[in-house]
Amino acid sequence: MASGILSDSRFQIPHSRFQAAVGLLWSRRVAAVLLALLAALCMAGAVVPRGILAIPFAALAGLVGLSASACVVTRAYRLIHSALRIPHSALLGSLLFHAGLVGLTAAGALSTLTREEGKLLLTEGQETNLATAAGVRLRLEKFHPVHVGSWGTPDYASDLAVIEEGQEARRATVRVNEPLVHRGLTLYQALHGFSVLVVLADAQGRPRAGSWVALGTDLKSQPVRYRDTFTLPGTRLAVEAEFFPDAFPEGDKLTTRSPDPRNPALAATVRDGLDTLYRGPVYLEKPVQLRDGLWLKLAGVRYWSGFDTVRDRGVGLLFASAWAAVAGLCLRFWPKRRPAV
pLDDT at 2: 41
The proportion of the chain whose per-residue pLDDT surpasses 70, expressed as a percent, equals 71
Which whole number is the average pLDDT over 178-189?
A: 86
Q: How confident is the model at residue 98 (pLDDT cuts 50, 70, 90)?
A: confident
| Upper half-sphere CA count for residue 24 (Cβ side, 13 Å) | 4
Each residue of 103-128: pLDDT tens digit? 777 777 767 677 778 889 999 999 98
User: Is the pLDDT assigned to residue 293 strictly greater than 90?
Assistant: no
Report the Cα 321 to chain-centroid distance in Å.
22
User: Is the pLDDT assigned to residue 253 strictly greater than 50?
Assistant: yes
User: Is the pLDDT assigned to residue 41 strictly greater than 70?
Assistant: no
| Structural domain spans, the chain | 4-115+315-332, 118-185, 193-306
Higher pLDDT, 113 or 289: 289
Is the pTM higher than 0.95? no
Strand 247-250 versus strand 207-214 pairing type = unpaired
pLDDT at 5: 38
Report helix, strand or coil for 226.
strand
Distances (CA, A) of 42 to 4, 49, 64: 20, 11, 14
Residue 39 dihedral angles phi and psi, to the nearest 5°? -65, -40
pLDDT at 151: 47
Please, which residues have CB within 8 angstroms of residue 59's CB and are 6 or more apart in sequence?
Answer: none
Strand partners for 309: 118, 187
Which whole number is the average pLDDT over 169-190?
A: 87
CATH code matching the domain that covers 118-185, chosen among 3.30.1480, 2.60.40, 3.30.160, 3.10.600? 3.10.600
pLDDT at 296: 92
Q: Identify the weakest region by mean pLDDT among 114-118, 136-140, 280-284.
A: 114-118
Which whole number is the average pLDDT over 173-195?
A: 88
